[in-house]
């Protein structure tokens, strides 16, 4: 669908005048065309509709319309008992179920005063970093497909399958896991599982240089991303952009380092940030490379966690799980963790009963998507695909 408006102003505003023009009346432009991108468009990464107003090839305004995948998570949480909510967190960002489980469980544990064993913490860190790699594999694979590269998609999805096999062995699930519970874990790791983790590390490490040679340093790919859709640091802060997107803007902010939880302060790893390697700091290429480099750092954390587990004696991983959730402490809490897509926060209000009085989820994909109308003006239509893919959103996380 398109809508052409009869205006007598010449076409084609220059990029540097776009911001000024958008803040004024639409009449400063020539004939505008309104394009509906989605909600069926594959490059919207789900059922997202972006209403794009263009002046020729240049985007004047880009407005995201959400709500096509509303899961009613927060209202459902008010009707479920505390442990029953865990499987629903899986479905927020279905590419990062472990990390969703962890964020909610840690919030409840802090509210209830529950402390888990070091072994539980270590297993949680290990599986969440595996899920971080799996998430980034999906993000980079889909992004390569958006830009027009088919082979890297096959490579990255194949690597992700190895992680899903590891998850399936310890909890039976591959995508929706329900593994990290309030006070513990649903299952212990199986015999020989850590050996398979080490095998995966040895397998995955050489795949990163292969990915860089195949995609990251491809001339066409660089030209499509470098200097495109720059998100400056101040804009990231104003719009609540977090995760690889804010680090891509050169800001060294990662909750695993800045507000450590689950023993992350005891691990040796670095925080990749954007450096303007091929263009400007904060462009689409920097956001892409941050995710590639985060895979390397996650492998470091996984290796350290696996080595610790090999030396730890076995214990009951469900020992700290309350025998009953019929009566819990009253109070409220906000707790945040470093999700693969950014800051995942849970604000929980307890009235002492078996169900939360209120549960608010601060979803990283929602906040990151909010920056789109700010960045879109001045881009070309093809650059909108590069922008959305570089933000890495999942609509189940956006709509909740």
Domain boundaries along the sequence of the chain: 119-327
Q: Are 121 and 105 in contact (CB under 8 A)?
A: no
**pLDDT exceeds cutoff 70 at 13:** no
**pLDDT exceeds cutoff 60 at 256:** yes
Q: What pLDDT shows up at residue 31?
A: 76
* Average pLDDT of the residues in 24-40: 70
Rounded to whole angstroms, the Cα distance separating 127 from 368 reads 25
Percent of the chain that is helix, strand, coil (3-state, to 5) = 50, 10, 40
* Average pLDDT of the residues in 46-54: 92
Cα–chain center distance at 324: 33
C-alpha torsion sign, points 314, 260, 390, 61: positive
Contact partners, residue 223, CB within 8 Å, separation at least 6: none
**pLDDT exceeds cutoff 80 at 295:** yes
**pLDDT exceeds cutoff 80 at 101:** yes
**pLDDT exceeds cutoff 70 at 294:** yes
Structure tokens at 179: 């593994």
**pLDDT exceeds cutoff 70 at 263:** yes
Q: Are 367 and 42 in contact (CB under 8 A)?
A: no
Contact partners, residue 186, CB within 8 Å, separation at least 6: 171, 178, 179, 180
Band (pLDDT 50/70/90 cuts) for residue 27 is: very low
Of 274, 277, 283, the residue nearest 230 (C-alpha): 283
- The DSSP annotation for 25-69 comes to -GGGSS--EEEEE-SS-GGGSSS-EEEEEEETTEEEEEEEE--TT
Instruction: Name residue, tokens 């800001």.
Output: 251
Give the global pTM: 0.91
Rounded to whole angstroms, the Cα distance separating 400 from 397 reads 5
Band (pLDDT 50/70/90 cuts) for residue 25 is: very low
**pLDDT exceeds cutoff 50 at 7:** no
Q: What pLDDT shows up at residue 3?
A: 38
Q: How far lies 163's CA from each of 92, 137, 193, 290, in Å?
A: 20, 10, 12, 20
**pLDDT exceeds cutoff 90 at 165:** yes
- Verify cis geometry, omega within 30 degrees of 0, for the bond prior to 39: yes
For the stretch 197-217, what's the b/e string if a residue is b when 16 or more beta carbons lie within 10 angstroms of its beta carbon? beebeeebeebbeebeebbbe
Q: Which helix (H) or strand (E) holds 280?
A: none
* Average pLDDT of the residues in 111-121: 96
**pLDDT exceeds cutoff 70 at 164:** yes
Q: What pLDDT shows up at residue 16?
A: 54
CA atoms within 13 A on the CB side of 130: 31
First to last CA, the chain: 28
**pLDDT exceeds cutoff 90 at 345:** yes
Quick one: fold of 119-327? Answer: Cytochrome-c3 Hydrogenase; chain B (1.10.645)
Q: Are 200 and 166 in contact (CB under 8 A)?
A: yes
Of 327, 334, 337, the residue nearest 349 (C-alpha): 334
Percent of the chain with pLDDT strictly greater than 90: 85
Q: Higher model confidence: residue 38 or residue 174?
A: 174
């Amino acid at each position: 669908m398109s809508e052409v408006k009869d205006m007598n102003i010449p076409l084609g505003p220059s990029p540097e005048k776009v911001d000024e023009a958008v803040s004024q009346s639409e009449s400063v432009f020539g004939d505008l065309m309104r394009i509906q991108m989605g909600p069926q468009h594959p490059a919207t990464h789900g059922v997202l509709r972006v209403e794009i107003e263009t002046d020729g090839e240049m985007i004047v305004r880009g407005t995201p319309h959400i709500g096509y995948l509303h899961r009613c998570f927060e209202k459902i949480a008010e009707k479920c008992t505390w442990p029953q909510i865990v499987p629903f967190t899986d479905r927020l960002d279905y590419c990062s179920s472990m990390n969703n489980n962890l964020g909610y469980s840690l919030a409840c544990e802090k509210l209830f005063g529950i402390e888990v064993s070091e072994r539980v913490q270590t297993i949680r860190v290990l599986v969440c970093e595996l899920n971080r790699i799996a998430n980034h594999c999906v993000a980079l694979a889909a992004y390569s497909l958006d830009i027009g590269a088919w082979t890297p998609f096959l490579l990255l999805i194949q690597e992700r399958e190895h992680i899903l096999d590891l998850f399936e062995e310890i909890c039976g699930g591959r995508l929706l896991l329900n593994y990290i519970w309030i006070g513990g874990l649903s299952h212990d790791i199986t015999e020989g599982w850590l050996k398979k983790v080490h095998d995966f590390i040895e397998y995955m490490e050489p795949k990163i240089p292969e990915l860089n040679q195949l995609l990251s340093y491809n001339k066409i790919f660089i030209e499509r991303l470098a200097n495109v859709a720059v998100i400056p640091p101040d804009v990231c802060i104003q719009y609540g952009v977090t995760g690889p997107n804010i680090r891509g803007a050169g800001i060294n902010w990662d909750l695993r380092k800045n507000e450590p939880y689950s023993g992350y302060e005891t691990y040796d790893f670095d925080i990749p940030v954007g450096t303007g390697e091929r263009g400007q700091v904060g462009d689409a290429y920097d956001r892409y490379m941050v995710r590639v480099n985060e895979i390397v750092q996650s492998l470091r954390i996984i290796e350290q966690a696996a080595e610790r587990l090999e030396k730890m004696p076995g214990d009951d991983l469900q020992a700290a799980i309350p025998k009953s959730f019929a009566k819990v402490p009253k109070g409220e809490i906000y707790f945040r963790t470093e999700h693969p897509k950014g800051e995942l926060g849970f604000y929980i209000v307890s009235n002492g009963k078996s169900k939360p009085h209120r549960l608010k989820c601060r979803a990283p994909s929602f906040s990151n998507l909010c920056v789109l109308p700010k960045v879109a003006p001045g881009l070309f239509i093809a650059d909108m695909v590069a922008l959305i893919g570089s933000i890495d959103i999942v609509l189940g996380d956006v709509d909740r």
